[in-house]
Structure 1
Amino acid sequence: MLKLGYKASAEQFDARQLIDFTVSAERYGFDSVFISDHFQPWRHTGGHAPAALAWLGAAGASTSRIALGTSVLTPTFRHHPSMVAQAFGTLGQLFPGRIILGVGSGESLNEVPATGAAWPEMKERFARLREAVRLIRQLWTEERVTFEGEYYRTERATIYDRPEQPVPIYIAGAGPMVAKFAGRLGDGFICTSGKPMELYSETLLPNVAAGLEASERASDTYDRMIEMKVSFDTDKARALADTRLWAALALSPEEKMSVEDPLQMEALADALPVDRAARRWIVSDDPDEHVEKIRPYVELGFRHLVFHAPGEDQERFLKLYSEQVLPRLRAAFG
């Protein structure tokens, strides 16, 4: 079954605005809302970075049906895995069956300013992520956990308030190793749209499948989620202009991975022309065109589409997309 979600842009809006948008998303029939967990936003000027853990509690209390999760949280540097296990255990108790923990290996923009730690190579970041996921699951299932890993340790630790229903862990990845790990040990996989289709068809999804096969779990219970970058408006010029704020997404990994200052990131993004800023987005005023440009992702196997809209008027987007695009997607793909 196709699930259609909404991305609450924590880099662009404050916590109260995001609660209002989440309530609207539930009212308009979206199935999920995911919030990113940034310590610092992509932009210094006008940027926001509400704490995702606190925000999820308020969002859960403000809604009744919609699933809520992080896309993504890094449980390896400024967040210790034990604290993440405790926090999501509590959230899972408060809102059973509605909470998803989405995790990733992190970016220096968030982790270095908050900790002062040197930013390690991907090999170490991936090792930390593997160890953190293992510790979180162990804390959710065992008592008095003494854990001695390479990066994290606990001594007779117990999470007393555990989730009533298991909290699924979705793992975000952009390369083959993390995708395979996500299939082997995650309950879902997270990636973002707008990259070469060969990345999804030849690298990411095949490695997720290989990890699933190695885990000997059923493929049909696994959630393949993708953040769809969409800019939709009845005025196409407005839809195009809205992408300008998110030009940072068009920067290559090499251009942005080691940037630790939002002022520097902002300057890099502002230097890009609008045609490059829009490159990652589906930009159109035609709902049928949106469906057709989304179709390849669904046909590849993504069944959970979380829509990220770049404009300032999110209420307008939620209303227009729920009225004109979501019904067409459900009719086309079930």
Structure 2
Amino acid sequence: MVHALRFGYKASAEQFAPLELIDYSVMAERAGFDSVFVSDHLQPWRHTGGHAPAALPWLGNLLARTERVAVGTSVLTPTFRYHPGVVAHAFATLGCLAPGRVILGIGSGEALNEAPLGIGWPDGKERFARFKEAIQLIQALWAGERVTFEGTHYRTDAATIYDRPDEPVPLYVAASGPAATRLAGRLGDGFITTSGKGRELYTDTLLPALAEGAGKAGRTVTDMDLMIEVKVSFDTDREAALQATTHWGALALSSEEKTSVEDPMEMERLADALPVERTARRWIVSDDPEEHVERIWEYVGMGFTHLVFHAPGPDQARFIRQYEELVLPRLRERAVRHG
């Protein structure tokens, strides 16, 4: 199965109020984007001006306000704040409300979203084990009735989800390391990762791990939708595009710098201390649409089939208009030329 190339809009729930973000997402559909994805965070990356709407009710509202776009999470964590059975139940309902338009994207989580509720944040080995078990339970609940599941971390006793869509909700697994990526290849309908981390990570580590995992399940990566959140700061005013990246400075922090940081105020302090030259590293910063498309296309060349664009600036309407006029037509034209 070959997946058609799709271009999505990342709804920045950490940056905009819920209704404002709905309006931007509706605008993105009208501008020609194929999908809208939102993160499910209890807390944002920064306290000042931060937002963190709950993804589940927000997605329901967006589905009611749109007609065509695929809608999903990138990502939600089904292992701590939510029991995986609750996630399976909620997304089955969303799938009934908007058949064929809902995607569940899941990841292993951030302490920022769990620890403030008094949830102990375990080591990576336990988080991975919980994540794998949660995926298996969600899929079991979607596939069967009277599901009795005896796992190490989760259990169900003759559980049934009574309202399930005729067309199953695709489950996409997010990963940034080889072990979780192999798991995505083995269990996921799609794979999610983020851009700006160096070509070798994707070509030499993640994509080979994905192929290895898929092979263990008797399939290939062409059976999956390969999604990447592409960090883009595009504006015909290059200085504006550069400065916009400072709002998301936390993304430029190393794992060591942000490990165990559970307070948005502290995360904000660390991020604001970074120079703009560093905050811009994770982003494709450009004022030239031809050059911008060329850099985006590198990810298509690697094999990614679903590019979801995350813009950091405060004027999302301007970003959407400029992408509609200057970038999306070039991407679609190039997609036609390359089959």
Q: What's the TM-score bracket when you normalise by the shorter of the two chains? A: over 0.9
Letter in 1 for 2:145: E
Per the alignment, residue 102 of structure 1 pairs with 105
Q: Do the aligned partners of 1:75 and 1:103 also contact (CA within 8 Å) in 2?
A: yes
Cross-structure match for 1:275: 277
Deviation at 1:220, TM superposition (A): 2.5
C-alpha distance after superposition, 1:158-207 (max 9, x if no partner): 10111221101000000000111101100010000000110000000111
1:140 aligns with 2:142: yes
Q: Which amino acid in structure 1 is aligned with residue 97 of structure 2?
A: L
Counterpart-to-counterpart distance in 1, 2:55 and 2:119: 22
Whole-angstrom distance in 1 between the partners of 2:260 and 2:272 = 18
- The alpha-carbon deviation at position 154 of structure 1 amounts to 1.0
Match of 2:187 in 1: 185
- 1:111-158 deviations in Å (ceiling 9; x for gaps): 1112x1221111111110100000001111111111111111111111
The corresponding residue for 1:18 is 21
What is the deviation of 1:278? 0.7
Structure 2 residue aligned with 1:255: 257
SS at match of 1:69: strand
- What letter corresponds to residue 151 of structure 2 in structure 1? G
- Secondary structure of the residue that 1:117 maps to in structure 2? coil
With the length of structure 1 as denominator, give the TM-score of the two structures: 0.98
Q: Deviations over 1:246-278 (max 9, x none)?
A: 000000112113211111101010110111011
Letter of the aligned partner of 2:308 in structure 1? Answer: V
2:210 counterpart residue number: 208
> Aligned AA for 2:26?
V
Conserved 8 A contact 1:88-1:163: no
Aligned to 2:177: 175
**Which moves more between the two structures, 184-193 or 139-148?**
139-148
Tell me how far apart the structure 2 counterparts of residues 247 and 123 of structure 1 sit (CA, whole Å): 28
SS in 1 for 2:277: helix
SS in structure 2 opposite 1:174?
coil
- Quote the Cα distance in structure 2 between the aligned partners of 1:131 and 1:251: 30
Q: Out of 57, 60, 69, which is 1:57 matched to?
A: 60
Which residue among 303, 317, 320 is the counterpart of 2:319? Answer: 317
**Residues of 2 paired with 1:257 and 1:172: CA distance?**
19
| 2:12 aligned residue | 9
Residues 107, 257 of structure 1: 8 Å contact kept: no
Give every structure 1 segment of 4 or more consecutive aligned residues whose post-TM-superposition deviation is greater than 4 Å.
none
How many residues align? The count is 333
Contact 1:73 1:102 in 2 (8 A): yes
Match of 1:306 among 298, 305, 308: 308
Q: Judge conservation of contact 2:14–2:52 (CA < 8 Å) in 1.
A: yes
Q: TM-score, normalised by structure 2?
A: 0.97
Tell me how far apart the structure 1 counterparts of residues 53 and 158 of structure 2 sit (CA, whole Å).
32
Give ranges in structure 2 of 5+ residues lacking alignment: none
Could you tell me the percent identity over the aligned residues? 66
Which ranges of structure 1 fall in alignment gaps of 5 or more residues?
A: none
CA distance in 2, matches of 1:168, 1:237: 39
Report matched runs for 1:238-253 at 5 Å: 238-253=240-255
Tell me what 2:79 maps to.
76
| 1:47 maps to 2:76 | no
* 1:225 counterpart (224, 227, 241): 227
CA distance in structure 2 between the aligned counterparts of 1:151 and 1:218, rounded to whole angstroms: 30
Maintained 8 Å contact 2:190/2:226: yes
